[in-house]
Amino acid sequence: VKVKVAINGYGTIGKRVADAIRLQPDMELIGVAKTSPNYEAFTAMRKGYKLYTTKENIQKFQNSGINVAGSIEDMIKDSDIIIDATPGGVGANYKKIYQEYGKKAIFQGGEKSDVADVSFSALCNYNDAINKNYIRVVSCNTTGILRVLCTINNFDKIEKVRGTIVRRAADPKEVKKGPINSIVADPARIPSHHAKDVLTVLKGIDIITSALVAPTTLMHLHTLFITTRNKVSKEDLLNILSNTPRILLLNTEKADAESTAEIMEIARDLGRYRNDVPETVIFEDSIYTNGNEIFLMYGVHQESIVVPENIDAIRASLNIMSRDESIRLTNETLKIGK
Ligand code: NAD
């Protein structure tokens, strides 16, 4: 039997997870829910997804010519687990309803960590999420940081992390966000919340982050300075990072590419669906080691990096596959690393 999955909140993250669910041999998409009858609702209908909305909004959707399969409660009742990809903070309000119907749920990084039993990053703590009813997939930035840190930490214990996150100002579809001509210290106060979010998964490390926002929509870019207990060589690092699923090394010299724009162009040239890059893309030539110090830089495609994490979180919650089996199947079906 397939796991019945519903998507509450069919926006940037929800629509990608919906498409990913349809590619999983062990999952069935029950339907998707949203509150505004906009173009995303139309395209969901065109794709043949069953669409649900709040009771108050059903008439509004029908008036816009969008067929509605029922209320969000109907969708919840028909599912085993809900991917909650509603806007940040909204998911916490839905938790009561999921609980009322005895359903499991996966929340996103815009929620506070206490919404769930565990914050999740597949490479770091899949096993902690096994059989948990409420799991929170950490944010795009935190997912990017954790993939790198957990990989290095498994090789040699990390003693300290200092990092700077250059965030994209808006997703490509967002027309009302800025800045458009400034780099903003956001927050100007150190540490930024990202360090705290990393600690929800990789507990007890010494980490401080700062964050800026730049006028771009393509990707985030991080630079990390890590110290490990022992001396690490660049060769060792290249070896472990290139053998880690969901991490790609971009040889900036050979590719003659050293920007987020060029990473996205490669995705376009490869014909990737929606130009998505769910991998953490490390600039290979940025990897620098000196004794027990490591520097590196990488890009994070905010719209897609958490998609495979949501799929793995479902399997962990229902305990239907081991970590390695789930990561392998998710990567294969979503063509990650290809
Ligand atoms: P979005 O605005 O693109 O989509 C949200 C969707 O939820 C919309 O379809 C909207 O119609 C629907 N919605 C709004 N209120 C609702 C309600 N009360 N009930 C049901 N549906 C409702 O948002 P997003 O960017 O996909 O973000 C969703 C979550 O994912 C947030 O927690 C966010 O922090 C997190 N996240 C976003 C990104 C990103 O870069 N966009 C990356 C990682 C994590």
For the stretch 53-76, pLDDT in tens is 999 999 999 999 999 999 999 999
The confidence score (pLDDT) of residue 26 equals 98
Is any atom of ligand 1 closer than 6 Å to the C-beta of 284?
Answer: no
149 CB-near residues (< 8 Å, 6+ apart):
124, 158, 161, 198, 202, 205, 224, 226
Question: pLDDT digit string (tens) for 110-157?
Answer: 999 999 999 999 999 999 999 999 999 999 999 999 999 999 999 999
Mean pLDDT value of segment 195-212: 97
Question: pLDDT digit string (tens) for 4-41?
Answer: 999 999 999 999 999 999 999 999 999 999 999 999 99
CATH class, 3-138+306-333 region:
alpha beta
In terms of CATH architecture, what is 140-300?
Answer: 2-Layer Sandwich (3.30)
Is any atom of ligand 1 closer than 6 Å to the C-beta of 34?
Answer: yes
**Catalytic residue (choose from 140, 170, 296, 334):** 140
- Nearest residue (by CA) to ligand 1, atom 24, is 12
What mean pLDDT is reported for the chain? 97
Q: Which atom of ligand 1 is nearest to the CA of 10?
A: 9
Q: Which atom of ligand 1 is nearest to the CA of 40?
A: 9
Q: Which atom of ligand 1 is nearest to the CA of 11?
A: 4
pLDDT band at 271 (very low <50, low <70, confident <90, very high): very high
Domain definitions of the chain by residue range: 3-138+306-333, 140-300
The confidence score (pLDDT) of residue 338 equals 82
Concerning whether 140 is annotated as a catalytic residue, the answer is yes
Q: What distance in Å separates the CA atoms of residue 41 and residue 44, rounded to the nearest whole number?
A: 5
The confidence score (pLDDT) of residue 114 equals 98
Q: Which atom of ligand 1 is nearest to the CA of 137?
A: 44
Is any atom of ligand 1 closer than 6 Å to the C-beta of 35?
Answer: yes
Choice from 7, 13, 141 to test ligand 1 binding pocket (greatest atom count within 8 A of CB): 13
Is any atom of ligand 1 closer than 6 Å to the C-beta of 304?
Answer: no
Distance 108 CA to ligand 1 centre (A): 9
| Six-digit token string for 178 | 């800025």
Distance 15 CA to ligand 1 centre (A): 10
The helix/strand/coil state of 72 is: helix
Tell the residue number behind the tokens 């870019």, with chain if given: 221
Hey, how many other C-beta atoms are within 10 angstroms of the C-beta on 296? 23
